[in-house]
Chain A
Amino acid sequence: MYAIEADNLHRTYRTSSGWIRRTRRTITAVDGVSFQVPPGELFGLLGPNGAGKTTTIKILNTLLLPTGGTARIHGLDVTRHTAEVRRRIGYVFGGDRGLYDRLSALDNLRYFAELYEVDPRVQRRRIEELLELVGLTGRQKERVEGYSRGMKQRLHIARGLLHDPDVIFLDEPTLGVDPVAARDLRAMIAELVRSGRTVLLTTHYMFEAEELCDRIGVITSGRMRALGTPGELKRHAQDRVVVEAEVYGVDEEQLDALRAERGVRGVTVDQRGMLQVIVVQCDIDGDAEPERFRSFVRQSLAHLKLGRVEVREPTLEDAYVGIVTGQEAAAPETTAVLS
């Protein structure tokens, strides 16, 4: 039996706008998503903002009803066995919200222990263990409003584990957390899986997904576009090379010119202050191709202030960008998407 099962999940929303001429729109957030996660696996759900990741998680954790398809946790249908599912799952938010700022960490955990029906005889010991696990021992009596983002995130994890759930949903747990705290959080997540729990993680950080996840699903426009181990996903980019160029002042017209070149699959720009790092994904067909693409990029941008131009092997991030940009371009225009 799978720990998490999504079978052809659909979720649409109806929205309306305007007073006199009221217009109604149906928005598709999740459009036939299917996947299974066996017990003890760490499954990553990746996708751009608005891809449908959070909606999928909200369906799996019972906060939303699907408009089609089924979802099960350890065989329990999330729409029919809601209370039982809630006893078996933990949900960890990313971000500052979701905790009572005026209470101490200890009181937050005590309150949520009541909400999740943790036996009072084991509550104290359980809370002490969790505070130790997330490194908040000694700070537990301070009000949460004085906590750093990283401390709040660790407290979120402790809260999600209070009732010792089998399945844990981690929704962007390292978002906005400093690098050292994020590293500690990743170690904590890896420990959760080692302890036998099943984890579904959403993140925007590819290195995080590659480091932690046994398998990854890439979702865009509400649809699952790719599913596999990090190594398998990288193979989406195996017939490619990536030309990376540092440049100042490139505009959309020049990027379009790059995109129009034969063999170029996608062009993305990473803005780093004044510097723009252009990543050009290219299909290769022969040994000379990488050098040809490098020359092409160098020539195309020669009239700009140009820094380093390098050819490199594609990473998981490149594979992900290739999947996402390729599918977004192919997505039907009428499909609007919410997360």
Chain B
Amino acid sequence: MNGFASTARLVVVGGMTSYRALFNWTTPSMYIGTLFASPLFQLLFFVYVGRGLGVAGDEFLIVGNAVLSCSVAGIFGGTMAIANERRYGTLGTVLLSPRSRAAIFLGRGLPYVLNGALVSVTMLGAAALLLGWRTPVDRLPALVLTTLVGAIACTAFGLTLGSVGLRLRDIWLVTNITSALMLLLTGVIVPSGELPALLRGIGSVLPLTHSVAAARHITDGDGFGAAGPDLLIEVGIAVAYTLIAVVLLRVFETEARRRAVLDAM
């Protein structure tokens, strides 16, 4: 088997297997409850608050919350994909593998990307069913693509946090806080323009901020061309977090071997 095919197999087969091994929410109740029910209630909550207080239209809150809903699978899943190795005591066995760390760990992100995009699309469908949200059918492919890019960026961010989790035992605290901050900083509920410059700056380097902006262009009927620049920035953010994750994995593994700072076994 040639090198490319072998690496592709590790990415796909290894990624899917590790998803079942390391993702905490694979039981039906946890999976549906955490990934679907919780974001759905959040979406309903904000839409009804928006209606009640008259602070935002349905579409603004539906699109924002639907795009945000991919973050649970992406960020928590991405973190679990790496940090849970410590929890299960399997890190030593994985680190003894002679294969590329990027292929091993980044491949693990694939199922979470698909999962996150599925959740976002489901939320849009639920909004159509339960809240009467409508958008022209020809805008749907671009909208789905936007959620996919957002899910990729979230997963890359989750993998970065997971890499930090190899060193930081309490990484879940960081993940929880970051996840909550995204509600405020990414423009899903509060328009980015309303935020102070510092918070807007932080939001601009977080995943989803630009996906949400792109999704709004699409649903507003501005066309895919108008959403393009934001999507490209989101792709750039995904690439940046992926690179950070790879660098951190390399640094922490080297440090672990040099200073014995990682309880790898």
Contacts and interface: CB of A to CB of B under 8 A. Distances in A.
Contacts of B256: 63
Interface stretch (A91-99, A183-191, A290-298): A91-99
A65 B17 contact: no
A63 B261 CA distance: 11
B97 A107 contact: no
A112 B93 contact: yes
B13 interface: yes
B10 interface: yes
Contacts of B99: 115-117
Please report whether the interface of chain B is mostly helix, strand, loop or mixed according to DSSP. Answer: helix
A103 to B, nearest CB: 5
B96 A63 contact: yes
Contacts of A87: 98
B125 interface: no
A56 interface: no
Nearest to B85: A100
A117 to B, nearest CB: 6
Contacts of B260: 11, 13, 64
A24 to B, nearest CB: 13
Given A110-B17, A111-B14, A115-B104, A97 B90 contact: yes
B4 interface: no
Interface residues on A, range: 35 or more
Given A86-B97, A100-B21, A102-B26, A114 B14 contact: yes
Interface in A43-88: 54, 58, 61-65, 82-84, 86-87
B92 interface: yes
Contacts, number: 91
Given A98-B89, A99-B90, A100-B90, A65 B258 contact: yes
A112 B98 CA distance: 11
A119 interface: yes
A317 interface: no
A93 B93 contact: yes
B1 A119 contact: yes
B93 to A, nearest CB: 5
A307 interface: no
A13 B1 CA distance: 42
Contacts of A116: 97-99
Contacts of B95: 63
B253 to A, nearest CB: 10
A111 B89 contact: no
A107 B90 contact: no
B21 A58 contact: no
A87 B104 CA distance: 16
Interface residues on B, range: 20 to 34
Interface string B17-53: 1101110001000000000000000000000000000
A96 to B, nearest CB: 8
A100 B108 CA distance: 15
A120 interface: yes
Contacts of B13: 110, 114
Interface centre among A13, A87, A98, by most B CB within 10 Å? A98
Nearest to A14: B259
Interface centre among A84, A86, A102, A116, by most B CB within 10 Å? A102
A100 B104 CA distance: 15
A159 B6 CA distance: 19
Interface string A304-316: 0000000000000
Interface string B97-110: 11100001000000
Contacts of B22: 100
B90 A65 contact: no
A58 B21 CA distance: 25
Interface string A103-144: 100010011101111011100000000000000000000000
A115 B97 contact: yes
B1 A97 contact: no
A129 B121 CA distance: 45
A101 interface: yes
B257 A100 contact: no
B1 A98 contact: no
A115 B256 CA distance: 20
B140 interface: no
Nearest to B11: A114
B21 A103 contact: yes
Contacts of A14: 259
Contacts of A58: 265
Given A93-B93, A114-B9, A63 B264 contact: yes
B88 to A, nearest CB: 6
B94 interface: yes
5 shortest interchain CB distances as A-B pairs: A97-B89, A100-B21, A115-B97, A86-B98, A83-B98
Interface of A: 11, 13-14, 54, 58, 61-65, 82-84, 86-87, 89, 91, 93, 96-103, 107, 110-112, 114-117, 119-121, 159
27 contacts: A14-B259, A54-B265, A63-B257, A63-B264, A63-B265, A64-B260, A82-B98, A86-B96, A91-B93, A93-B92, A93-B93, A93-B265, A97-B88, A97-B265, A100-B88, A100-B90, A102-B21, A102-B26, A107-B20, A112-B93, A114-B9, A114-B13, A115-B97, A117-B6, A117-B10, A119-B1, A121-B1
Given A86-B98, A93-B92, 6 more contacts: A62-B96, A83-B98, A97-B89, A98-B265, A116-B99, A121-B1
